[in-house]
Amino acid sequence: MDKNKIIRIKDIAKLSGVSVGTVDRVIHERGKVSEVSKAKVEKVLKEINYTPNLLAKTLGSNKVFKIALLAPHLDEDPYWNLALSALGSTQKEWQPYHIEILPFYFELHNADSYHKESERLLACNPDAVISAPIYLPEALTFSKKLKVMNIPFIHFNTLITEADPLAFIGQDLYQSGRLAASLLNLVCHDQKGSLATLHIVQSIQHSIHFQDKENGFNDYCKALASPQKTTSILINAHTQELFEASLLKAINEFEVKGLFIPTSSGAKKTAEVLRNNHLKDIKIVGYDLIQDNIDLLRSGEIEFLINQSPNKQLYRGVYHLAHHLLFKNPPPKKELFPLEIITRENIDSYTCAQILNQ
Amino acid sequence: MDKNKIIRIKDIAKLSGVSVGTVDRVIHERGKVSEVSKAKVEKVLKEINYTPNLLAKTLGSNKVFKIALLAPHLDEDPYWNLALSALGSTQKEWQPYHIEILPFYFELHNADSYHKESERLLACNPDAVISAPIYLPEALTFSKKLKVMNIPFIHFNTLITEADPLAFIGQDLYQSGRLAASLLNLVCHDQKGSLATLHIVQSIQHSIHFQDKENGFNDYCKALASPQKTTSILINAHTQELFEASLLKAINEFEVKGLFIPTSSGAKKTAEVLRNNHLKDIKIVGYDLIQDNIDLLRSGEIEFLINQSPNKQLYRGVYHLAHHLLFKNPPPKKELFPLEIITRENIDSYTCAQILNQ
DNA sequence: CTGAAAGCGCTAACAA
DNA sequence: TTGTTAGCGCTTTCAG
């Protein structure tokens, strides 16, 4: 009657007339077991419903799993600073489960540094890896090595399908661009003029990333009942003065009424130019809840932000790897985050939630 | 040098010159300990950074924690259906940590049933409770009982400050109303007419809930540079015909150009009326990702939805209770969820994420 | 009030 | 090839 009782390895051993050691060997296919004992154990296993106790398992095998993280150094860029802001609490959260997170930081604009850190990472022979594969060829080599070494890895932020990670965590960038377009059209409704995607060139590696967004943006505008003209502004300037001059020129040339800025850090520079030139009718849609952007949203200089939650991406990646290591739970191949729309009226609800949800 | 070593109770015992039993007593304040031993242990604890091993803890105390859930029956209402959709995976997630979630369902429109289920719940003497306190007096009585029995409880969805739960999980409804107003103003920009809050009376219990939203809505409109006229429509009709008649009358009377519908299920009925009467210039902002609303958003009959993520609310509530039981980690007194804006262009990213994030 | 010791269910090393 | 046993870190008796 009392079938609710939890079945232990010991029970299986008794039922099949062998020792716990043998049962363990059969279940985990380790060591040598005679055909006959194996059959006995498997017969019992088939009849009952055995679920191993994971607490006992990780406690017993006194093993600490190492998850290595490869990401840009947080001092260089507010976006990556935000992304890694959750690292401390994530480490703390998993520590009780014998899971360690070891960060390796590379220089954001230095593919060589990426490669070097990935080598250092491998040297600590981790049980799993989570990385932001922002350098395509280097990331591919790295992925191949991980495959060979049979180390599971998850990518976040940047999608590289060829690398075939255990999972990808990020957003649908094309759709993100469409969303931006819809928002910009909403606030620039009946004025005439064009909507521009503004690329501020810092380094090349991001190009694909941003191209997807721009495609979505343009496609949306093109498909409107009354199509909205779009344009693309590319500025490669090293000083704010040069930037300002180039931007103003483009704005005049294309009669820009709204700007789509696909980088998180571009909005500030842009807003400054608009402010200095009293162009407050030009609307901005930007990305991410970095402090500068939050301030600009509050002051009304940015209309909308789209939140990529890079911190949550990391958090979820670790979550999936941890479950993979502890429970052998395979994560979904792709986890696409919601495209969060941030305005003056809901920004507070996001900044406060960010603290609370770790 | 090797200070990375994990500190065990045994180590603390050795350092403070007492036994593990005594250390355990001090840490958990159980049993009797002399002042002097207590001081010794506490001194050591202050110096080192002890984090108990959760695995060993739950394995050692062969205890299963019971978290009881009190919520409306899911068959009656799509909102509550959504709220409880994450229950299964949440149960599975916590099972390995010896935490059981026992649901108790009451009838949504029956305060008496709420009371009865709360009694049944207490009879199973749970270690913690999470509930949606939608009946004010009954919830207060229930809360008092829990306090007396020293059972920690968390409220979600509905805020009752007087009940003083361990935590409240939900949204800032006033701000939510403001957000709705800002969105509705965005899409109804220069047309003239009024913006109306539509209350479809089903039962009384929700009134406060919705009043907060309406206040936020009205305050926002009033404070605009060019104030927007608002009005409040209250309909108590039992058939769709009666509802249609009342709604049309109100729309004409107040020259309504936009409708704010604070209930999740009201949008469908309303959209139907607008569709039948070719009033497609009247915009709707509604609540929650229930299927009807998703369809209406996609078809363009709803402009925006605000997502309350009732399923995540439940998930987080369980998370906090579990951590409270396992680690004695006190949750934040209030966890206010982000006010998520849903449009045609980001709805897919939400519906797919919902599955993946449990 | 305190310490010693026997578990919790599993792993892994060691004999046999 | 097998069975036995000593841990993993914590809880919970049970003597003293």
Q: What is the DSSP string of A11-52?
A: HHHHHHTS-HHHHHHHHHT-S---HHHHHHHHHHHHHS----
User: Is A346–B97 a contact, with Cβ atoms under 8 angstroms apart?
Assistant: no
Exposed/middle/buried for residue A94 (C-beta within 10 Å: 0-12, 13-18, 19+):
buried
User: Looking at the complex, does the CB of residue B54 fall below 8 Å from at least one CB of chain A?
Assistant: yes
- Could you count the other beta carbons within 10 Å of the beta carbon of residue B124? 10
**Does residue B111 form part of some domain?**
yes
User: Looking at the complex, does the CB of residue A350 fall below 8 Å from at least one CB of chain B?
Assistant: yes
Protein chain A, residues 232-271, with a C-beta closer than 7 Å to any atom of nucleic acid strand C = none
pLDDT digits (tens, 9 = 90+) for B51-95: 888 788 888 888 889 999 999 998 889 999 999 999 998 998 888
Q: How far is the CA of B111 from the C1' of D1 (A)?
A: 67
**Does residue A343 form part of some domain?**
no
Q: How far is CA B250 from CA A220, B239, B262, in A?
A: 36, 17, 17
Considering its fold, how many domains does chain B have in total? 3
The reply to whether B211 and B147 lie within a common domain is no
The reply to whether A152 and A201 lie within a common domain is no
- Element (H or E) spanning A220, and its range? helix A207-222
pLDDT digits (tens, 9 = 90+) for B222-239: 999 999 999 999 998 889
Nearest to A83 by CA among A92, A74, A91: A74
Q: How far is the CA of B324 from the C1' of C3 (A)?
A: 30
The reply to whether A125 and A86 lie within a common domain is yes
Distance separating alpha carbons of residues A14 and A17, to the nearest angstrom: 5
The reply to whether B45 and B85 lie within a common domain is no
The reply to whether A106 and A158 lie within a common domain is yes
The reply to whether A133 and A115 lie within a common domain is yes
pLDDT for the residue B52: 84
Distance separating alpha carbons of residues A180 and A306, to the nearest angstrom: 8
Nearest to A346 by CA among B75, B183, B194: B183
Domain limits at A40?
9-52
**Does residue B205 form part of some domain?**
yes
Is the pLDDT at B164 greater than 60? The verdict is yes
The reply to whether A196 and A297 lie within a common domain is yes
CB under 8 Å to A181, separation ≥6 — which residues? A195, A216, A217, A218, A220, A221, A228, A260
Q: Which amino acid is at B212?
A: D
Q: Which of A58, A338, A340 sits opposite B55 (nearest CB)?
A: A58
**Does residue A352 form part of some domain?**
no
How large is the average pLDDT for residues B9-13?
A: 92
pLDDT in tens, chain A (358 residues): 344 567 899 999 999 999 999 999 999 888 899 999 999 999 999 988 888 887 888 888 888 899 999 999 988 899 999 999 999 989 888 877 788 999 999 998 889 999 999 999 999 989 999 999 998 899 999 999 999 998 999 999 999 989 999 999 999 999 999 999 999 999 997 778 999 999 988 755 556 778 999 999 999 999 999 999 999 999 988 899 999 999 999 999 999 999 999 999 999 999 999 999 999 899 999 999 999 999 999 999 999 999 999 999 999 999 999 988 877 778 999 999 999 999 999 999 999 864 444 3
The reply to whether A235 and A314 lie within a common domain is no
Is the pLDDT at B189 greater than 90? The verdict is no
pLDDT band at residue B357, thresholds of 50, 70 and 90?
Answer: very low
User: pTM value?
Assistant: 0.90
The reply to whether A187 and A293 lie within a common domain is yes
Is the pLDDT at B290 greater than 60? The verdict is yes
User: Is B179–A58 a contact, with Cβ atoms under 8 angstroms apart?
Assistant: no
3-state DSSP call for residue A237? coil
The reply to whether A292 and A317 lie within a common domain is no
Q: Which of A55, A96, A175 sits opposite B59 (nearest CB)?
A: A55
The reply to whether B295 and B180 lie within a common domain is yes
User: Is the separation of the CB atoms in B254 and B214 below 8 Å?
Assistant: no
pLDDT for the residue B352: 80
pLDDT for the residue B64: 87
3-state DSSP call for residue A167? strand
pLDDT for the residue B1: 35
